[in-house]
């Protein structure tokens, strides 16, 4: 068995009581333990406002791992993992509490990593508290969750605040989509295959659709979600990251600097959406009650803790244009929503129709080659094309065919790496390439802010209700049918 030697770390999780820590971080760390990726002296210190002792924290962690990993916990692995877990009762607004943390940390031997799984408005207190207790030495690292801020101004503010106490090489800004196998594969697909490489521009591509559909609602996170909405929760980060990866030019090399540089060029070329085009370019919706997989689910405003009058969007569809030579005239249609029919993410590349039809018995005007990249679940790649129907017919008869490659499920059934697993490991290794730069985040906000602003000011673009378990509000279809296009149906 190969044991990977990372540096020994003290990983502090601020927000240990929170959803992210229980749902994603602890299960991912347990999986890393299982695959022997964690240094033997690494420790995990949950930090939060609770007077749990170590035993209580370990018990809570075990339940969370069991619930969210959906597998039986292996006793031997758990015993090893649980000895790494410690807890520090800390209120991040109390400067002196950081000295409690200092007592637990082993600064001489271990590299300290602070994971801030806390809302944006608490971050500065964490930075200052860490600085006061000298818990920000050059060797330490700090991980920031998305969304970073709630607009350009607040994002800049956080970046300016953190830059007083940590240098850029210490800051890891997370977007967990960048840790997903299928998203990383997009780079290989585009830049290792001349077939795709040469056909990736406005001469061959008609338009591209990106769907990230979620079945879950807001999972008890009403307070967080209601001030965020789907636009800041999903589009500003995950979906814009997918968009930049599929549209960026070939980077000079495969280093994080070169890739980030290309992604940034795309972000700064996004055509702005404002009051003048908000109605033709965006749709927003909020889920009403409905049935998903045979189960009744409540509306957004009936969720636990909800404000009945909330106008926060849980669904967004946007038509995006990129103002550069390569993509001039190619629309990108993005959509994402909660409580839709099922969970799946997909990119569909529609190629241009044939200019001339040699096959008079077929209506080529109806047909477009498509490349369908299923990001999850069941990662696969399909190509839609036409074939001659075999037979003695005098005339050519064409039929639709599909090439399909199951990227992960068949060939590598055991390699199911969770995005957080990969990113936590990268942070322990001290490698920043799968993290997002300050510039990318600020550039995204520059494009997002005017949209949110226009939504507030434009009366006709009111939020539309959609029934849970459907594909979103009716206007989402209108966004495409106006251009004589249709959403590629889930199948
Ligand atoms: C998170 C959002 O960043 O991503 C959640 O805050 C969303 O609201 C989640 O549900 C989706 O992630 P995934 O990996 O399940 O697609």
Specify the pLDDT at position 3: 45
**What pLDDT is attached to residue 2?**
42
Between the CA of 238 and the centroid of ligand 1 the distance, in Å, is 8
Cα–Cα dist 227/222, whole Å: 9
Was domain 178-416+437-481 assigned CATH 3.30.360.10? yes
Matching residue, tokens 């539309």: 464
CATH homologous superfamily of domain 9-145? NAD(P)-binding Rossmann-like Domain (3.40.50.720)
Q: What residues does ligand 1 touch, defined as CB less than 6 Å away? A: 214, 216, 233
End-to-end CA distance of the chain: 40
* Residue 54 to residue 60: CA distance in whole angstroms: 10
Residue numbers in the known binding site for NADP(+) are 49, 91-92, 146
| Pocket probe mutation, ligand 1, options 238, 239, 303, 444, max atoms within 8 Å of Cβ | 238
Is residue 238 annotated as part of the catalytic site, yes or no? yes
Mean pLDDT by runs of 10 across the 491 residues of the chain is: 68 95 96 94 96 95 92 93 97 96 90 94 96 96 94 96 96 96 94 96 98 93 92 97 98 93 98 95 97 95 93 97 98 98 97 90 84 93 94 89 83 79 95 94 98 89 93 97 96 85
Q: Which of 97, 114, 207, 238 is catalytic?
A: 238
pLDDT of the residue at 50: 93
> What's the pLDDT at 71?
81
Cα 367 to ligand 1 centre (Å): 34
CATH topology identical between 9-145 and 178-416+437-481: no
Atom number in ligand 1 closest to CA 224: 6
Best residue for ligand 1 mutational test, from 148, 230, 234 (most atoms within 8 Å of Cβ):
234
State the pLDDT at residue 1. 43
Q: Which of 120, 233, 345, 416 to mutate to test the pocket of ligand 1 (most atoms within 8 A of CB)?
A: 233
Against a cut of 0.85, is the pTM above it? yes
Atom of ligand 1 nearest to the CA of 146: 3
pLDDT for 417 equals 84
Q: Sketch the domain layout of the chain as residue ranges.
A: 9-145, 178-416+437-481
């Amino acid at each position: 068995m190969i044991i990977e030697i990372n540096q020994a770390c003290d990983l502090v999780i601020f927000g240990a009581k929170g959803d992210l820590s229980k749902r994603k971080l602890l299960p991912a760390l347990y999986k890393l333990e299982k695959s022997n990726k964690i240094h033997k002296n690494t420790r995990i210190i949950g930090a939060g406002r609770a007077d749990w002792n170590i035993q209580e924290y370990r018990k809570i962690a075990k339940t969370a791992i069991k619930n969210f990993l959906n597998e039986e916990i292996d006793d031997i692995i758990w015993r090893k993992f649980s000895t790494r877990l410690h807890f520090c009762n800390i209120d991040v607004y109390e400067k002196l509490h950081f000295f409690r943390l200092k007592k637990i940390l082993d600064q001489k031997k271990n590299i300290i990593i602070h994971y801030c799984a806390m809302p944006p408005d608490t971050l500065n207190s964490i930075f200052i508290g860490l600085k006061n207790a000298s818990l920000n030495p050059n060797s330490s690292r700090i991980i920031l969750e998305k969304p970073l801020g709630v607009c350009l101004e607040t994002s800049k503010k956080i970046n300016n605040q953190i830059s007083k106490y940590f240098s850029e090489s210490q800051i890891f800004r997370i977007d967990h989509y960048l840790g997903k196998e299928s998203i990383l594969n997009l780079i290989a697909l585009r830049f290792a295959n001349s077939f795709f490489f040469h056909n990736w521009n406005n001469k061959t591509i008609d338009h591209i659709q990106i769907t990230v559909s979620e079945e879950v609602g807001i999972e008890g996170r009403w307070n967080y979600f209601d001030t965020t909405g789907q636009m800041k929760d999903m589009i500003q980060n995950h979906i814009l990251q997918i968009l930049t990866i599929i549209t960026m030019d070939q980077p000079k090399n495969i280093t994080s600097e070169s890739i980030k540089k290309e992604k940034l060029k795309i972000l700064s070329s996004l055509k702005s959406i404002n009051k003048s085009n908000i109605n033709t370019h965006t749709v927003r919706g909020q889920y009403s009650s409905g049935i998903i997989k045979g189960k009744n689910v409540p509306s957004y405003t009936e969720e636990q803790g909800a404000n009945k009058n909330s106008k926060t969007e849980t669904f967004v569809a946007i038509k995006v244009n990129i103002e550069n030579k390569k993509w001039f005239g190619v629309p990108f249609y993005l959509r994402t929503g909660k409580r839709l029919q099922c969970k799946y993410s997909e990119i569909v590349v529609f190629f241009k129709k044939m200019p001339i039809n040699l096959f008079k018995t077929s209506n080529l005007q109806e047909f477009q080659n498509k490349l369908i990249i299923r990001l999850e679940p069941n990662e696969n790649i399909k190509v839609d094309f036409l074939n001659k129907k075999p037979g003695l017919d005098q005339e050519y008869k064409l039929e639709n065919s599909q090439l399909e490659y199951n990227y992960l499920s068949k060939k590598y059934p055991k390699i199911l790496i969770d995005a957080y697993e990969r990113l936590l490991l990268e942070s322990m290794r001290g490698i920043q390439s799968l993290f997002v730069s300050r510039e990318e985040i600020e550039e995204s906000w520059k494009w997002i802010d005017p949209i949110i602003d226009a939504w507030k000011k434009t009366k006709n673009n009111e939020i539309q209700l959609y029934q849970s378990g459907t594909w979103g509000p009716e206007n989402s279809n209108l966004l495409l049918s106006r251009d004589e296009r249709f959403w590629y149906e889930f199948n």
